[in-house]
Chains A and B, each alone.
Chain A
Amino acid sequence: MLRLVANRVVSSVLSLFGASLFSFIILRLTPGDPARLFLGPFATEAAVAQLRGKLGVDDPIPLQYLAYIGDFLRGDWGFSYTTGEPVVRELMERLPATLELGLCAFAFAVCGAVPLALVAVHHHGRAADRAALAFSFFGLGVPTFWFGLMLLVLFFERLGWLPGPDGRLSLNVAPPSVTGLYTVDALLAGQWAKFLDAARHLILPAITLGMAPLGFLTRLLRANLLDIAREPFILVARSRGVSRWAALVRHALPNACLPALTAAGLLFGQLLAGSLLVERVFNWPGAGALVAEGVLRQDFSVAQAFILLSAVMYVLAMLVVDLLAGLIDPRIRHPMTLE
């Protein structure tokens, strides 16, 4: 297992290197002189040259790459052209919100998909199976924007059970910041009311964001489970007195999860990258909206930092996936040592 961990960590670092190289090249390939862009058409040649020297644009390419990586690691991600704020501060304000929503949406998708797929396979070909399939199609097909609004109309406007689209909290006083995730911070500070408020604000956006992943994972798990349920070891387990349901949950499910893990990891990375639509509908102060604005205003340093940051998220998600797979599957943990 230790060897597996070391292996995966090394390959993750290599992936990150590739991603950073890619994002750097994209940056360098952008036509135009950044100094000229920054200073405008009426700046003197001398001023442009001075800025070029300051920006390091004339340095050899490998040196520029090293400087770029060094800046990124030190948290110096440049300044937003439009607001003049350091990009790192803008992103770090928004990122915990995105992270919290993404985590909840992912939890919703997984916690929904597993029982749905189990029930569908247990009642394969019958009404419950068809209902689960129909539900997953709905999840995959329903427009996020519209679905979020419908949830708001029903649970906020009509029933009044849940808060409306007013961000992460009703009264915008955040709990003492530790992780930046309001629910966690509130719990850490022992503020129950604040925790409940933050959690209630999370429910509708998390469901909206998690709906498509839920549909996708349900379909994937159902198909995997159906395959595994036909494997002889399920029949053999039943021949020892295990009930159909127990054979499905204890033997088929862990086996069926293995191929679904990779897909789940990709979905997780995608959810962490945030969603412009969901953030807009619920006024959620996440990174998705910030990046979208950055792109629209040609504020590339924001987009730039975000690209590399989401690469880090994806790589971390895939690292977790690989380690989980090793934990579940002994064939990965102890590769062939046939005696």
Chain B
Amino acid sequence: MNEDTILEVRDLRAEYVSAGRRVAAVRGVSFTLRRGEKMAIVGESGCGKSTLALALLGLLDPPGCFVGGSVRLNGREISGLDDRAMRRIRGRDIAFIYQDAMAALDPIRSIGSQLCDNIRRHQPAVGRAEARRRAAALLAAVEVPDAERRLDHYPHQCSGGMRQRVMIAMALANNPDVLVADEPTTALDVTTQAQVLALLDRLTAAHGFGIVLITHDFSEVEAFCDRVHVMYAGRIVEHGPVASVLPHPIHPYTQALLATMPRPGLARLPAIPGLPPDLGALSAGCAFAPRCPVGVGRAICTTDAPPPGPAECHFASELASGVAAGSPT
């Protein structure tokens, strides 16, 4: 294991019971995150990426949820820890940014009191006045103007972008090693999106934590991340450096997903035919097979699970050589 590795996830599985059925939302996810690294998990809605975020934080409660596999934070196994132990880790070693900043703050408590609470929870030695001073400094660090005065404001008095900055300040309050950001920009308008990402970028460089960015937007991945993991039906189907996966996707799903990205000169966006599979009733074989243009008519796709690798496809090498020949998509 590399010195710089701060988060190592191996074969993480998460299931929950919905309408009396067990739904396998995360089915054996593995990845490694290094200090200062910005990693993306990309996928459509319902592919299990938000469940993955909650599983990393240990927020999937039994009964109703089952989590298996290994999550090592700074070399320490945290999967399977009891809630008491996890509470000391959450918000201190691993922090979370929720997708909808409008709904992520307690509407009836001031921003300052929520920030101070969070500081004092993990640093009980910090006094009230000191916590308030640090809270103001945190707001200033996330580029909130007039930070001192903002502390006494309530969430409903702040714009969406402002609230997301407050959320980021809160996540940074105890100098975490890992930041899990679940679609931190979806609820924001485009200009604010770019500002928030640029802010996260600067903060990563300054503080050296690692980010797991969960998103459905490849343009965000392209602009912001070092490595990308493409998730489909609860599995990472392709991963690699952004610089190689985005220009040369191998897995048919990555190719299809990239093709749906808006680009100049494209009159009409192609859509991936069909729907993501029902995670409660997956059959043997490749989960993408029913929608895959490559697998049509090939028996192995519906009978065998694809072999592990950078791209989880029975025909990865064939597709890779096709890429090498210069005929992607």
Asked whether A and B interact, the reply is yes
The reply to whether B83 and A244 form a contact with Cβ atoms under 8 Å apart is yes
Q: Which residue of B lies closest to A251 (CB)?
A: B106
Query: Is B121 an interface residue, CB under 8 A from the partner?
Result: yes
One digit per residue, 1 when the CB lies within 8 angstroms of any chain B CB and 0 when it does not, for chain A 171-191 equals: 000000000000000000000
Given contacts A330-B154, A339-B157, contact A231 B103 (CB under 8 A): yes
Q: List residues of A (92-129) whose CB comes within 8 Å of B's CBs.
A: none
One digit per residue, 1 when the CB lies within 8 angstroms of any chain A CB and 0 when it does not, for chain B 80-108 equals: 00010001111110011010100111111
Given contacts A233-B103, A244-B83, contact A329 B91 (CB under 8 A): no
The reply to whether B91 and A232 form a contact with Cβ atoms under 8 Å apart is no
The reply to whether A233 and B108 form a contact with Cβ atoms under 8 Å apart is no
A116 nearest CB across to chain B (Å): 22
One digit per residue, 1 when the CB lies within 8 angstroms of any chain B CB and 0 when it does not, for chain A 222-256 equals: 00000000011101111111111000000100110
The reply to whether B103 and A232 form a contact with Cβ atoms under 8 Å apart is yes
The reply to whether A233 and B106 form a contact with Cβ atoms under 8 Å apart is yes
Given contacts A231-B103, A232-B104, A330-B108, contact A241 B88 (CB under 8 A): yes
A233 nearest CB across to chain B (Å): 5
The count of chain B contact residues (Cβ–Cβ below 8 Å) is 33
Q: Which residue of A lies closest to B100 (CB)?
A: A232
Query: Is A66 an interface residue, CB under 8 A from the partner?
Result: no
B52 nearest CB across to chain A (Å): 14
Query: Is B57 an interface residue, CB under 8 A from the partner?
Result: yes
The reply to whether B104 and A233 form a contact with Cβ atoms under 8 Å apart is yes
- CB-defined contacts of A233 to chain B, threshold 8 Å: 103-107
- CB-defined contacts of B59 to chain A, threshold 8 Å: 235, 238-239
One digit per residue, 1 when the CB lies within 8 angstroms of any chain A CB and 0 when it does not, for chain B 165-176 equals: 001001000000
A260 nearest CB across to chain B (Å): 14
State in angstroms the CA–CA spacing of A243 and B87 once bound together. Answer: 7
- CB-defined contacts of A336 to chain B, threshold 8 Å: 156-157
Query: Is A338 an interface residue, CB under 8 A from the partner?
Result: yes
- CB-defined contacts of A237 to chain B, threshold 8 Å: 106
Query: Is B70 an interface residue, CB under 8 A from the partner?
Result: no
The reply to whether A240 and B95 form a contact with Cβ atoms under 8 Å apart is yes
A55 nearest CB across to chain B (Å): 54
State in angstroms the CA–CA spacing of A240 and B98 once bound together. Answer: 11
A226 nearest CB across to chain B (Å): 15
With beta carbons under 8 angstroms apart, the residue of A240, A331, A338, A339 that contacts B107 is A331
The reply to whether A239 and B91 form a contact with Cβ atoms under 8 Å apart is yes
- CB-defined contacts of A239 to chain B, threshold 8 Å: 57, 59, 90-91, 95-96, 98
- CB-defined contacts of B57 to chain A, threshold 8 Å: 239
State in angstroms the CA–CA spacing of A258 and B106 once bound together. Answer: 13
Q: List residues of A (322-336) whose CB comes within 8 Å of B's CBs.
A: 328-331, 334, 336
Q: List residues of B (272-315) whose CB comes within 8 Å of A's CBs.
A: none
- CB-defined contacts of B61 to chain A, threshold 8 Å: 244
Query: Is A83 an interface residue, CB under 8 A from the partner?
Result: no
Query: Is A30 an interface residue, CB under 8 A from the partner?
Result: no
- CB-defined contacts of B100 to chain A, threshold 8 Å: 232
Given contacts A239-B59, A243-B87, contact A329 B108 (CB under 8 A): yes
One digit per residue, 1 when the CB lies within 8 angstroms of any chain B CB and 0 when it does not, for chain A 253-268 equals: 0110010000000000
Q: Tell me which of A232, A255, A329 has the highest count of chain B C-beta atoms within 10 A of its own C-beta.
A: A232
State in angstroms the CA–CA spacing of A258 and B108 once bound together. Answer: 10
A148 nearest CB across to chain B (Å): 39
B12 nearest CB across to chain A (Å): 17
Query: Is A82 an interface residue, CB under 8 A from the partner?
Result: no
Query: Is B185 an interface residue, CB under 8 A from the partner?
Result: no
The reply to whether A255 and B95 form a contact with Cβ atoms under 8 Å apart is no
Query: Is B122 an interface residue, CB under 8 A from the partner?
Result: yes
The reply to whether B106 and A240 form a contact with Cβ atoms under 8 Å apart is no
The reply to whether B157 and A334 form a contact with Cβ atoms under 8 Å apart is yes
With beta carbons under 8 angstroms apart, the residue of B104, B121, B156, B167 that contacts A241 is B121
Query: Is A7 an interface residue, CB under 8 A from the partner?
Result: no
Q: Which residue of A lies closest to B114 (CB)?
A: A237
Q: List residues of B (245-289) whose CB comes within 8 Å of A's CBs.
A: none
The reply to whether A330 and B156 form a contact with Cβ atoms under 8 Å apart is yes
Q: List residues of A (244-300) whose CB comes within 8 Å of B's CBs.
A: 244, 251, 254-255, 258
A sample of 24 inter-chain contacts (CB < 8 A) reads A233-B103, A233-B104, A233-B106, A235-B59, A236-B104, A237-B106, A239-B59, A239-B96, A241-B88, A241-B89, A241-B90, A241-B92, A241-B118, A242-B121, A243-B83, A244-B61, A255-B106, A330-B110, A330-B154, A336-B156, A338-B156, A338-B158, A339-B157, A339-B159
Top-8 shortest CB links A-B: A240-B91, A239-B96, A241-B91, A330-B154, A232-B103, A236-B104, A241-B90, A241-B87
- Which residues from chain B sit less than 8 Å from chain A, CB to CB? 54, 57, 59, 61, 83, 87-92, 95-96, 98, 100, 103-110, 118, 121-122, 154, 156-159, 167, 170
- Which residues from chain A sit less than 8 Å from chain B, CB to CB? 231-233, 235-244, 251, 254-255, 258, 328-331, 334, 336-339
Given contacts A241-B88, A330-B107, 18 further A-B contacts (CB under 8 A): A232-B98, A232-B104, A235-B59, A236-B104, A239-B59, A239-B95, A240-B118, A241-B87, A242-B121, A255-B106, A258-B108, A328-B108, A330-B110, A330-B154, A331-B107, A331-B108, A338-B158, A339-B157
